[in-house]
């Protein structure tokens, strides 16, 4: 399946004439069982694609919200194999919704690149976003990922020049993740005019769908960006709910799924 799920989802979104909702959640946050419950309920609540974070102790692109989530997951005992296992469990009930693993390259190297790709694909992972893997160094990953059909989804930013974008997106597949602001996750939001202009430039160098993320926290913001993007990525707003409800874990998944539903409704 792998890339096929992503391609089919964007074909469906085009047919429905709407932007998709990409939801982010940290795997194993605040624990394995709660994380799996949140993940399983995402599609029914309205998520079109799900990014599942791989906890890492030294992130470079994440704000406080995601850093705290990674720390909670690591404290709960999370390993990379556990994140892959969560996907495998999810696939027992859902073989349609694309799942993207998002994180940093160090855990992949530690796991073993070839084994990571094989295990991820076997579990039902469709693609990966490796924030700190540069195009100059990605060959050791793509030599296994491309034959396996595992998408390497690339990040571009307001500071990415057209020349650099061509290099960055050379081996990209699935979709492109456009970071709407220069900075970290959960920060300020960019205005729609600058995003529209950036996506117009980006579409000159890629035919892949473009998802816009960073700083999108409300249904109103998501609806606004959906006017110019192929998909909208929301993450910190969901992760915040976990951090705010650690004393009442049973309520976490319900509150997150409600917010997913609220945002999704605005995009349909």
Secondary structure (3-state) at 46: coil
CA atoms of 149 and 158, how far apart (whole Å): 29
Structure tokens at 78: 């999370």
CA atoms of 265 and 198, how far apart (whole Å): 26
Q: What residues contact 145, with CB distance under 8 A and at least 6 apart? A: 117, 128, 151, 152
Q: Of 62, 126, 138, 224, which is the active-site residue?
A: 62
Q: Of 7, 29, 51, 224, which is the active-site residue?
A: 51
Is 51 one of the catalytic residues? yes
CA-CA-CA-CA dihedral for 139, 144, 147, 150, to nearest 10: -100
CA atoms of 188 and 235, how far apart (whole Å): 13
CA-CA-CA-CA dihedral for 180, 156, 64, 264, to nearest 10: 50
- Residue bearing tokens 């859902």: 94
Secondary structure (3-state) at 44: helix
DSSP structural state of residue 28:
T
Residues assigned a catalytic role: 51, 62
């Amino acid at each position: 399946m792998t890339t096929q799920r992503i391609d089919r989802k964007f074909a469906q979104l085009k047919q429905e004439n709407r932007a998709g909702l990409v939801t982010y959640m940290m795997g194993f946050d605040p624990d394995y069982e709660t994380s799996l419950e949140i993940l399983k309920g995402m599609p029914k609540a309205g998520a079109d694609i799900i990014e599942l974070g791989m906890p890492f102790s030294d992130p470079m692109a994440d704000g406080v919200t995601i850093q705290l989530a990674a720390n909670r997951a690591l404290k709960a005992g999370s390993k990379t194999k556990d994140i892959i296992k969560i996907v495998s469990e999810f696939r027992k009930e859902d073989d349609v919704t694309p799942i993207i693993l998002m994180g940093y390259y160090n855990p992949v190297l530690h796991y073993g690149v070839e084994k990571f790709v094989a295990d991820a694909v076997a579990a039902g992972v469709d693609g990966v976003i490796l924030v700190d893997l540069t195009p100059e160094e990605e060959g050791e990953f793509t030599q296994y990922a491309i034959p396996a059909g595992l998408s390497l989804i690339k990040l571009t930013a307001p500071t990415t020049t057209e020349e650099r974008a061509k290099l960055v997106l050379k081996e990209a597949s699935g979709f492109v993740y456009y970071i709407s602001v220069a900075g970290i996750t959960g920060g300020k939001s960019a205005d729609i005019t600058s995003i529209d202009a950036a996506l117009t430039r980006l579409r000159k160098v890629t035919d892949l769908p473009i998802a816009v993320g960073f700083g999108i926290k409300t249904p109103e913001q998501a609806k606004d960006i959906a006017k110019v993007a192929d998909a909208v990525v929301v993450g910190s707003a969901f992760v915040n709910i976990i951090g705010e409800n650690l004393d009442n874990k049973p309520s976490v998944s319900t509150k997150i799924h409600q917010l997913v539903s609220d945002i999704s409704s605005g995009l349909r």
